[in-house]
C-alpha cells in the first residue's frame, strides 16, 4: 500500500514525550486540499515544555516540518520523510488578554478569534479571523486581507529555536513584509501577542459579516482549495495575469482553476497532489510566456512526489 511507504520505525529513535507520536499519518486529513501522502511520523506535543524537550533530545539528522491548519499547504503524494510537528493540543490553543493586547497560542485557529473578540469586547483582529488557517502559520506568512496585515497588529512572538530554547522575539526583529517574514525555518511559533482595542460586540460582528460577505462573493467556498495560489507581483494582480494568459479554465486531472477566482486552484474530489502542482506549474509557464513575469508560489509545497517514492 502506498500509505505504508515508510517501513522503518523511527519512533524507536525519538525521545520520550508526554504528547503523541503517530506513524504514517495521512496528511490528506490535515490539509484543506485533502491530498498528499503520509507523514513518516507526526508529533503532537502536549505543551511548549514538551516540545522544547523533544527539540533538544531529537536525533539531529531527522528532518523536521511544522504545519498549522493546512490551509496554505500542498503535501506531495510521496509523503513527508522525518517528523511533522503539529501544535494541536489544547495548550497551544489558549489565549490571555492583558489590557490592549491578546496572546494567542500558535495552534489556535484564526476563526476562533471571532468568538473571543465578541465575548471579550475587543476589536482589531477581524481581518485575521477571516483568513483560513492557524495563528502561527498566519504570522509566518504575514497573512493579510482588506487592507490589513499581521505586521500591523503583532507585538511579539514566542518561539522555540533549533536548540529547544523558548524565547520572545519583538516585532521589530521579525522584518515582516508582503506574505513573508524573517522567521528562520527552524523556529517554531508557540504564541503570538497582538494589539487590540475595546469595541462593541455589535460593531465587531458587523465587520466580520461584511468581510465574510465580500469573501463569499469573490472567492470559492465549500470546496477543497488552499487560498491564493500565487503571490501578487509588485504593483500587479496575480489573477489578472492568469486570466490575461488564458489560464482561467485550465484543468489537470482532478484539479482545476476556480471559475470564481482564477488565483485559486480546486481539488474537484479526484485530484492528486501531482495534479495540483502540475496545474500550478502550467499556469506559471504560460504566464511567463505571455507576460515575461514569473509568478511565485504562495502555497507552501512540501514532501516528495510519488515517482521519487516508487523508485
d(CA 228, CA 179): 11
Of 49, 101, 179, 258, catalytic: 179
Residue pair 2/28 in contact by the 8 Å Cβ criterion: no
* C-beta of residue 89 within 8 angstroms of C-beta of residue 47: yes
> Active site includes 149?
no
**Whether 65 contacts 36, CB under 8 Å:** no
Instruction: Give the closest residue to 64 by CA, choosing from 32, 48, 40.
Output: 40
Task: Please tell me which residue in 89, 228, 245, 272 is annotated as part of the active site.
Answer: 228
Cα gap 119→115, rounded to integer Å: 6
Give the Cα separation of 160 and 163 in Å (integer).
Answer: 8
At 206, phi and psi to the nearest 5? -65, -40
Spatial CB neighbours of 276, under 8 Å, sequence gap ≥ 6: 33, 35, 74, 252, 255, 265, 267
What backbone torsions phi and psi does residue 300 show, to the nearest 5 degrees? -85, 130
Active site residue 298: yes
Place of cell 502561527: 136
Q: Is residue 172 annotated as a catalytic residue, yes or no? A: no
Residues that are catalytic: 179, 228, 298
Amino acid at each position: 500500500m502506498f500509505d505504508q511507504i515508510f517501513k522503518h520505525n523511527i519512533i524507536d529513535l525519538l525521545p520520550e514525550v508526554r504528547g503523541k507520536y503517530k506513524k504514517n499519518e495521512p496528511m490528506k486529513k490535515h490539509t484543506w486540499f485533502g491530498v498528499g501522502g503520509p507523514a513518516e511520523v507526526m508529533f503532537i506535543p502536549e505543551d511548549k515544555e514538551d516540545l522544547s524537550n523533544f527539540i533538544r533530545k531529537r536525533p539531529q539528522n531527522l528532518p523536521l516540518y511544522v504545519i498549522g491548519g493546512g490551509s496554505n499547504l500542498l503535501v506531495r503524494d510521496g509523503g513527508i520523510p522525518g517528523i511533522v510537528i503539529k501544535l494541536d493540543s489544547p495548550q497551544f490553543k489558549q489565549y490571555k488578554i492583558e489590557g490592549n493586547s491578546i496572546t494567542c497560542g500558535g495552534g489556535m485557529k484564526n476563526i476562533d478569534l471571532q468568538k473571543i473578540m465578541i465575548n471579550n469586547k475587543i476589536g482589531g483582529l477581524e481581518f485575521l479571523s477571516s483568513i483560513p488557517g492557524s495563528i502561527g502559520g498566519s504570522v509566518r506568512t504575514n497573512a493579510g486581507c482588506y487592507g490589513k496585515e499581521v505586521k500591523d497588529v503583532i507585538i511579539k512572538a514566542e518561539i522555540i529555536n533549533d536548540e529547544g530554547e523558548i524565547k520572545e522575539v519583538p516585532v521589530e526583529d521579525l522584518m515582516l513584509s508582503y506574505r513573508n517574514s524573517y522567521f528562520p525555518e527552524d523556529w517554531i511559533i508557540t504564541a503570538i501577542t497582538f494589539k487590540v482595542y475595546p469595541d462593541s460586540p455589535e460593531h465587531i460582528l458587523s465587520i466580520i459579516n461584511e468581510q465574510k460577505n465580500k469573501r463569499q462573493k469573490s472567492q470559492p467556498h465549500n470546496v477543497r482549495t488552499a487560498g491564493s495560489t500565487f503571490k501578487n507581483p509588485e504593483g500587479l494582480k496575480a489573477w489578472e495575469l492568469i486570466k490575461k494568459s488564458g489560464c482561467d479554465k485550465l484543468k489537470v486531472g482532478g484539479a482545476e482553476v476556480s471559475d470564481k477566482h482564477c488565483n485559486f486552484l480546486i481539488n474537484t474530489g479526484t485530484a492528486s497532489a501531482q495534479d495540483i502542482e502540475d496545474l500550478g506549474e502550467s499556469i506559471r509557464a504560460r504566464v511567463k510566456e505571455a507576460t515575461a513575469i514569473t509568478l511565485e508560489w504562495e502555497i507552501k509545497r512540501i514532501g516528495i512526489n510519488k515517482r521519487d517514492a516508487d523508485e
